[in-house]
């Protein structure tokens, strides 16, 4: 069954479950260009850079992660303010209707998962950080961080797909079955999200989430862009290059650098 697209139903489901599945969010042409750019990427060791992109896997199990991927080429720049999600992000985590209205990308990376890879369970309302919190109050959304996870390949059973615990962004308890490795495959209450290439999963970072263990051969590829309020800073301290900032549209630049750096004018010698 297709996910509903009316604004009221989206708000209702996002509030209730903490996520939305945006089906066919990105067209096949852009998905092909994103994959081709990744195909042409050199093999990197952990910590190694290619231009301003760094291989920086979050943990030993998750697979290969290319951080700061917005510097990885034009197709990744097109995701910054993609029309399929940008207005939803402004609404949910862009401090809309306030004096600091605007968005910021806190982290953006491509993730490539092969057989055996998984992502341990994390986040959830219990002891949640304000940075990732879900909040709706006084008729406005004030979430700390909302993520777009875009499928670059089809993600079905055995592919190492994203898992979420619907409603857990409001949970007052940790999941009692979460083991020390944090694998989610057998946990009660978990939903594994199946996706077609081009579908995007929008979810508040404060929901309990992770990914199932990949048992199939081949690769699962996704991009994850984390959005937050305009006054944020990049999670790992990545700085965008002058070349990238210089060539972006004003709208995209305002999402990567919402506050123009201020410094005294350089004295001429």
Q: What is the DSSP string of the chain?
A: -PPP-SHHHHHHHHHHHSEEEETT-S-HHHHHHHHHHHHTSPP--TT-EETTEEE--SSSSS-EEEETGGGS-HHHHTTTT-TTTHHHHHHHHS-TTSTT--EEEEEEEEEEE-TT--EEEE--STT--GGG---EETTEE--SEEEEEEESS-B-TTS--EEE-TTGGG-SS--TT--SS---TT-TT-EEPPB-TT-EEEEETTS-EEEPPP-SSS-EEEEEEEEEETT---TT-----HHHHHHS-HHHHHHHSSS----PPPPP-
- Structure tokens given for 226: 């984390």
Sole binder of ligand AKG in the list 31, 112, 150, 211 (CB under 6 A): 211
Sole binder of ligand AKG in the list 13, 21, 191, 224 (CB under 6 A): 224
Q: Which region among 3-11, 22-30, 207-215, 252-260 touches ligand AKG (by CB under 6 A)?
A: 207-215
Please report whether residue 191 would count as binding ligand AKG according to CB under 6 A. Answer: no
Which one, 21 or 102, has the nearer CB to ligand AKG? 21
Residues 5-44, mask of contacts with ligand AKG (x by CB under 6 A) = ----------------------------------------
Please report whether residue 119 would count as binding ligand AKG according to CB under 6 A. Answer: yes
Which one, 10 or 113, has the nearer CB to ligand AKG? 113
Contact between 129 and 183 (Cβ < 8 Å): no
Which one, 92 or 248, has the nearer CB to ligand AKG? 92
Which one, 44 or 224, has the nearer CB to ligand AKG? 224
Please report whether residue 104 would count as binding ligand AKG according to CB under 6 A. Answer: no
Please report whether residue 210 would count as binding ligand AKG according to CB under 6 A. Answer: yes
Distances in whole angstroms, Cα of residue 266 to Cα of each of 10, 170, 239, 240, 269: 50, 50, 21, 22, 9
Radius of gyration, CA atoms only, the chain: 18
Please report whether residue 169 would count as binding ligand AKG according to CB under 6 A. Answer: no
Sole binder of ligand AKG in the list 111, 153, 171, 208 (CB under 6 A): 111
**Dist CA 184 CA 178 (whole Å):** 7
Which one, 201 or 229, has the nearer CB to ligand AKG? 201
Which one, 71 or 106, has the nearer CB to ligand AKG? 106
Q: Which region among 80-88, 90-98, 209-217, 234-242 touches ligand AKG (by CB under 6 A)?
A: 209-217
Residues 44-73, mask of contacts with ligand AKG (x by CB under 6 A) = --------------x---------------
**Number of residues lying near ligand AKG (CB under 6 A):** 8
Q: Is 30 exposed, middle or buried (0-12, 13-18, 19+ CB in 10 A)?
A: middle
Which one, 124 or 210, has the nearer CB to ligand AKG? 210
Tell the smallest beta-carbon distance from residue 63 to ligand AKG (Å).
8
Give the residues lining the site for ligand AKG (CB under 6 A): 58, 111, 119, 162, 209-211, 224
């Amino acid at each position: 069954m297709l996910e509903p697209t009316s604004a009221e139903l989206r708000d209702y489901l996002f509030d209730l479950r903490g996520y939305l599945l945006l089906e066919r969010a990105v067209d096949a042409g852009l998905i092909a260009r994103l994959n081709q750019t990744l195909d042409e990427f050199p093999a990197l060791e952990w910590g190694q850079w290619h231009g301003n992109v760094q291989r920086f896997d979050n943990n030993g199990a998750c697979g290969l992660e290319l951080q700061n991927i917005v510097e990885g080429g034009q197709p990744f720049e097109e995701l910054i303010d993609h029309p399929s999600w940008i207005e939803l992000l402004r609404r949910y985590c862009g401090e809309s209707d306030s004096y600091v209205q605007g968005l910021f990308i806190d982290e953006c990376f491509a993730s490539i998962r092969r057989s055996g890879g998984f992502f341990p369970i994390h986040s959830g309302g219990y002891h949640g950080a304000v940075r990732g919190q879900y909040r709706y109050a006084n008729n406005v959304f004030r979430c700390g961080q909302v993520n777009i996870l875009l499928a670059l390949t089809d993600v079905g059973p055995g592919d190492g797909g994203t898992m979420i615990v619907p409603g857990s962004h409001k949970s007052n308890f940790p999941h009692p079955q979460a083991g020390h490795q944090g694998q989610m495959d057998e946990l009660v209450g978990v939903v594994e999200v199946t996706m077609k290439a081009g579908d995007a999963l929008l979810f508040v970072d404060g929901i309990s989430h992770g990914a199932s263990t990949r048992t199939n051969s081949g690769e699962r590829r996704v991009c994850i862009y984390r959005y937050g309020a305009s006054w944020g800073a990049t999670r790992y301290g990545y700085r965008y290059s002058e070349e990238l900032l210089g060539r972006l549209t004003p709208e995209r630049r305002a999402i990567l650098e919402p506050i123009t750096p201020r410094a005294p004018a350089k004295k001429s010698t």
